[in-house]
Structure 1
């Protein structure tokens, strides 16, 4: 009897190994066919060595890791793409989409690589990366006050080319120059001008998108619903953005910045508590953010908490001093704390750059291991709660830990939650970014530090937004929910989707169902399609320009 069982087990094992070998062989053949599809079609349009990088290419790893900002996703165990495509023109994107779709290869789209969970360059299934670094032109029209910006451009490049044409034109987006506009714009994109001018996505007036069928669509041909979806809904769920057209804003010749640091010994707890009541309601020309971190005290060298009040005022120093005296005199701002600058100089000052030419550098200088999370605060937090936060911040003695508080109000409270998919508008006092950065390598270190930030996030649960507990899509956080590999259910995706988009998630799903019903453009937190009775099977002939709302 034992001999019979052993024989059957051996037979089953042989069958399993045989089927596995067939599956591996079929997969390898499909991958070869996919690469052949790419190379044969790209060969006809360009020098292929400038566009396609496979693992056998000596430059493959350097191209892969150049825009990978988070070392958590550059380990030897991290899955790597079958190929990296660095298109020089839109036709290269079309070819890539068509070949990937034909052979069921997932696409990851990368413009700057600052996505915090590595979704633009990591996948758990066979995948290709479209790296848009070569499509980075910025064309500024001073008279029209607009710009066409290719999706591979960085914020630094955008700011540089705007300032090169005008000292009084600007654009409201983030402060980190190496962030790619492709993802930043499509997720909303906030910065120090947010309270005065709103988000980057609020100023998008046109776009060029390659859809699931390889078609190039603009605002008119894609229709109002798809155009609505890509401005804050994460465009990677709907296609590949090759370029954005934006309205530029007008700023004065002079703006003013200041930075004041206060420790616990200098009454930081009370000042941060007061800031909650002042910063969201003060004049919209003033944006005061607060960085909270643990530092060594200058008094006795022991650990303390530092609150760094960092501000941009759209105006001159005299008006700023008067405004602060009337609204937040407790901070003790004096003229010596203030610096009057041009707008482009303020960009450098706030990030720490030395020269305007540094804005053209695509490489992020502070690569490391990190994890971020986000929250929105609607009711002021008590001083005792902040004291509890300080205790948690003290736990991390060596590594960089930050909480960044970004005030709302101003224009942000005047824009409807449904104007674009980004819903976090009126009712928010401020947004919190939690961040931990560490140098140690290995899974054990990562788990320890990630568990720390999760404890901080859990501690904050009673004091932040609820039902849903809101989160910012550009601070991608897989802790709040993920899709299944392949297709996922509407209910499952809604767990994380309502946190990012609130009620706008439903409309995003309808748009996805119309334009990509097969869910080709997908990742761990992409918008899923849903079968709706009133939508017939669309297939490859989905109508563009048809309104669904």
Structure 2
């Protein structure tokens, strides 16, 4: 498509701001910013209805409606001075240009599931560009593609695909309320990644508003920038409006199961065996392993239940239960899977199963943009390259029982994940990894003391896992945002680059330098920045 440019007067404003040093900019004038938005609004698409200031009665509800981590919804959390709920692409273009003119920090929010609240919290005065109104989905079964706007949720994407076809799907996350913008641009993985790879491995085009306020597609943005926003995080390079995805084939009937075993039910041996087979199973089979602490069946001398570890094996199989049982009996008999453990259903229904909706829930539930549970949470990540010895597993389980709160999730690799080059997209964690680890802690207790306590528990479990995970660097997954591994406090210069490199190498490994090069070319002033954005190269 041709580059869509702004009106001449706004293009002139862009040139003016790009020729002016950030250092000479005065402090942000929020009122002038609003005037800028209104002055450049197009009569056919007025921007006024999209503007919410704290004086607006709906401001709080708009702000809180997409806060998915209640840690960042407190009276002391810094609030944006304005929320712009873009109703049209031109609103995004105008906001990018006006924010530069007035030297304002912009945070871009799609679904709000950012684990550290980076899309709606900042240490400095800021406004939110909220994309939830830009959520159209156009599915074309004939070409097996779809255009999906960044404000859509994964559940909406899945539902619209299933609405058109019983034999098509898309490889992305299992949480329906996650927003497309952040999920796709950071990599996006789900329970079909062993068969079809990541979300970014199936993206073929995109629309993005760049730092000049231009609306670009893949051809006009160039391959370097397109590469960067398919795994390197879109918010460092521009505002992604939409992605074009390739749909994948799924059978009309898939099979799922969820089987749990405690330590008393031989969980240690079963987990040990899972390590050796999970990445080598038939590509149609994905078995996630989650481990948490529960009350045991026996009681101690005081009559209290002893704690034990529970290992749960949750599977997605692209086929019927008969073939699944055949594979399991041959490759993983230790689990003792039975026909009664298996449930056959459509691919769309399997998403509801994986999200723990009650059996029989209508697929229309995928259209809900409200999470089933809202809580306070902390997440961390790791990658494992060698099986953990049985003595190591026993030690980890003991530590988990001592800590009680954090849950471990192991997501197996192999299949397509080992076939794609580590440099094909910015997402580098490919061959050589057996599985990805997520550390998850949730809590409902109010207050900073409780938050500090549970965050520290998560950090301790992460520390205990050090001997068993990747090293030099200790790798991390960008979509599992974790500010513990580094924050960039600077806008530009060597200090910004060095701070960015700390977390950038862990998230992107050898791809970090290419991302920094792209960043420097397309956004030399580092307008698109956040606590863990890609930095520009130092002069």
> Please, what TM-score do these two structures have when normalized by structure 2?
0.91
Q: Could you list the per-position Cα deviations for residues 420-466 of structure 1 after superposition, in whole angstroms to 9, with x for gaps in the alignment?
A: 00000000000000010111111111111111111111111111001
Question: 2:406 matched to 1:401?
Answer: yes
The Cα of 1:489 is off from its aligned counterpart by 2.8
Residue of structure 1 equivalent to 2:248: 249
The Cα of 1:125 is off from its aligned counterpart by 1.3
Contact 1:81 1:122 (C-alpha < 8 Å) held by counterparts: yes
Q: Structure 1 residue aligned with 2:331, among 327, 330, 333?
A: 327
Question: 2:352 matched to 1:345?
Answer: no
Residue of structure 2 equivalent to 1:473: 478
Question: 2:514 matched to 1:510?
Answer: no
Deviates more, 1:32-41 or 1:115-124: 32-41
Residue of structure 1 equivalent to 2:307: 303
Contact 1:229 1:421 (C-alpha < 8 Å) held by counterparts: yes
- 2:194 & 2:342 partners in 1: Cα distance? 20
The Cα of 1:352 is off from its aligned counterpart by 2.0
What SS is found at the alignment partner of 2:518? helix
Residue of structure 1 equivalent to 2:195: 196
Residue of structure 2 equivalent to 1:378: 385
- Structure with bigger gyration radius: 1
Alignment of 1:46-445 (within 5 A): 46=45, 48=47, 50-300=49-299, 301-353=305-357, 354-397=361-404, 401-445=406-450
What SS is found at the alignment partner of 1:39? helix
- 1:453 & 1:299 partners in 2: Cα distance? 27
Residue of structure 2 equivalent to 1:491: 498
- 2:79 & 2:526 partners in 1: Cα distance? 22
What SS is found at the alignment partner of 1:456? helix
Q: Could you list the per-position Cα deviations for residues 161-207 of structure 1 after superposition, in whole angstroms to 9, with x for gaps in the alignment?
A: 00000000100000000000100000100000010000001000000
Q: Could you list the per-position Cα deviations for residues 442-501 of structure 1 after superposition, in whole angstroms to 9, with x for gaps in the alignment?
A: 111111111111111111111100111000000000111111142343222111101000
Contact 2:28 2:102 (C-alpha < 8 Å) held by counterparts: no
Residue of structure 2 equivalent to 1:22: none
Distance 1:29 1:405, change over 3 A: closer
What SS is found at the alignment partner of 1:455? helix
What SS is found at the alignment partner of 2:190? coil
Alignment of 1:500-539 (within 5 A): 500-531=507-538
The Cα of 1:396 is off from its aligned counterpart by 4.2
Question: 2:46 matched to 1:41?
Answer: no
- 1:162 & 1:43 partners in 2: Cα distance? 33
- 1:55 & 1:161 partners in 2: Cα distance? 35
Contact 1:485 1:524 (C-alpha < 8 Å) held by counterparts: no
The Cα of 1:294 is off from its aligned counterpart by 0.6
The Cα of 1:520 is off from its aligned counterpart by 0.3
Distance 1:44 1:396, change over 3 A: farther
- 1:440 & 1:28 partners in 2: Cα distance? 38
Q: Could you list the per-position Cα deviations for residues 334-360 of structure 1 after superposition, in whole angstroms to 9, with x for gaps in the alignment?
A: 111111111111111111232211111
Contact 2:406 2:461 (C-alpha < 8 Å) held by counterparts: no
Contact 2:47 2:87 (C-alpha < 8 Å) held by counterparts: no
- 2:234 & 2:51 partners in 1: Cα distance? 23
What SS is found at the alignment partner of 1:302? strand
What SS is found at the alignment partner of 1:245? strand
- 1:346 & 1:458 partners in 2: Cα distance? 34
What SS is found at the alignment partner of 1:139? strand
The Cα of 1:391 is off from its aligned counterpart by 2.5
The Cα of 1:28 is off from its aligned counterpart by 7.4
Contact 2:487 2:500 (C-alpha < 8 Å) held by counterparts: yes
What SS is found at the alignment partner of 2:381? strand
- 1:393 & 1:70 partners in 2: Cα distance? 23
The Cα of 1:52 is off from its aligned counterpart by 0.8
Alignment of 1:13-32 (within 5 A): 30-32=29-31
- 1:46 & 1:228 partners in 2: Cα distance? 31
- 2:306 & 2:44 partners in 1: Cα distance? 63
Contact 2:86 2:131 (C-alpha < 8 Å) held by counterparts: yes
Instruction: Calculate the aligned-residue CA RMSD, in Å.
Output: 1.4
The total of aligned residue pairs comes to: 505
Residue of structure 1 equivalent to 2:8: none
What SS is found at the alignment partner of 2:222? helix
